[in-house]
Amino acid sequence: MADNNSGFFANPLVKWIEYRLPVFSTLDHMVGSQYPTPKNLSYWWNFGSLAGLCLVIQILTGIVLVMHYTPHTAMAFDSVEHIMRDVNYGWLLRYMHANGASMFFIAVYIHIFRGMYYGSYKAPREILWWLGLIIFLLMMATAFMGYVLPWGQMSFWGATVITNLFSAIPLVGEPIVTWLWGGFAVDNPTLNRFFSLHYLLPFVIVGIVILHVLALHQHGSNNPLGIDTKGPQDRIPFHPYYTIKDAFGVGVFLIFFSFFLFYAPNYLGHPDNYIPANPLVTPEHIVPEWYFLPFYAILRSVPDKLGGVLLMFGAILILFVLPWLDTSKVRSAKFRPIYKQLFWVFLIACIGLTYAGGQPPEGLALVIGRACTIYYFAHFIILLPLVGWFEKPLKLPASISEPVLKA
């Protein structure tokens, strides 16, 4: 094995290293010429690597921000302003990090919806799907704690409201909240521990991403047709075909990112976070960052404290059992006439939730929020199991290359 691999590479230095430490062959099997990939992947398959790119950007910009940031209630806000005004390119690095978080969520949300459309969560990819959801949960925790660090009004009140969610748990709720805070309110101990965890969790995410990729390679990528590859005629090597396609995607994505970074760096943020935290005054209208809005809408659409909290967490946890709620054996929505339509209605419900989450919880927004919340859960609990039984799928092609060769 080791002999074979070191023979595979031409460069003598690479050969010499490979013979002792098989890094090059490992990489080649991960994302290189030795990773066979379905030949029909569309641009929707770019978002996994884009999410990985975002993670790298967050870690690099985060590490250099920490060189100038001070995690103390008396100094945090000023140290972020110091980064913005005094540190060389500090404004760029901070805007990269703040907008990078939004870009990360855009990539991951598209990646998740891609998985839903093409049935990528179905056997044998259930654990792959779970690992993705764990990454999503860790990302949310990381982004939430990062948003607390600048210690503005939204930082403080966001932290207060979100940690208070745990007070809804019967009996142990209050002690848990005190434990999270390290005091009787969000204060310096809270800021310190959030800083520690905000630094740690991205590296935990890196670890889970490695497992995610390992699980992916066990059965290979799904594809727009949702059928298994049947032989070499259905596959092409990852390198150079998809490395170049991913690289092109990176270019487009960076242009999109740069638009926000250079022309609208505060568009996705909230102006109140440029006001220092004040524990005596809650901002008139507190909203989380855009990527939390759907879940915030679900929380607020229930007029009961515990019920709202349970439903909000349930909205994510239900995704873990999606592989079993969807009873259809056909993966891709291309061949599922009814599911295909339900997918788009579901997407609209999610957009409705995002809208409702950003409005004050009254009037029409509250009605929209409630209707979309009901639909969100009905989609998973009622529609998916039923459609799997009643829908008559279209005829699947015999292989990925068959329709192409016939044409």
Partner 1 sequence: MAGTATQKAGTEPTRRDFIVVAAGAFGAVGAAAAVWPFIHQMNPSADVLALSSTEVDLSQIAAGQSVTILWRGKPVFVRHRTEAEIELARKDDTAALPDPQKDADRVKKPEWLVMMGVCTHLGCVPLGQKGDFGGWFCPCHGSHYDTSGRIRKGPAPLNLPVPDYAFLNDTRIRIG
* Catalytically annotated residues: 217, 221, 245-246, 289
Residue 282 CB, nearest distance to ligand HEM (Å)?
19
Which residues, listed in sequence order, are joined to residue 237 by a DSSP beta bridge? 36
**Alpha helix (H) ranges present in 125-230?**
126-148, 153-164, 173-181, 188-219
Q: Which of ligand HEM, partner 1, none has residue 186 at its interface (CB below 5 to 8 Å by kind)?
A: partner 1
Residues ≥6 apart with Cβ < 8 Å to 93: 61, 64, 65, 83, 87
List the structure tokens of 136: 């999503």
Q: How far is CA 101 from CA 112, 243, 370, 383, 397, in A?
A: 16, 24, 28, 33, 40
Interface pattern 8-47 for ligand HEM (x via CB under 6 A):
----------------------------------------
119: alpha, beta or left, given left = phi > 0 and alpha = psi -120 to 50?
A: left
Give the residue from 273, 35, 51 showing the smallest Cα distance to 150: 273
Residues 88-117 that bind ligand HEM (CB under 6 A): 94, 97-98, 101, 104
CA distance 77 to 100: 20
Q: Which of partner 1, ligand HEM, none has residue 66 at its interface (CB below 5 to 8 Å by kind)?
A: ligand HEM
Cβ nearer to partner 1, comparing 3 with 284: 284
Q: Which of ligand HEM, partner 1, none has residue 202 at its interface (CB below 5 to 8 Å by kind)?
A: ligand HEM
Rg, the chain, Cα only = 24
CA distance 97 to 93: 6
Choose which of 69, 117, 257, 296 interacts with ligand HEM (CB under 6 A). 69
Interface pattern 327-366 for ligand HEM (x via CB under 6 A):
----------------------------------------
Q: Which of partner 1, ligand HEM, none has residue 97 at its interface (CB below 5 to 8 Å by kind)?
A: ligand HEM
Distance between start and end Cα atoms, the chain? 41
Residue 375 CB, nearest distance to partner 1 (Å)?
21
> Which parts of this chain interact with ligand HEM (CB under 6 A)?
55, 58-59, 62-63, 65-66, 69, 80, 94, 97-98, 101, 104, 139, 142-143, 146-147, 149-150, 198-199, 202, 205, 269
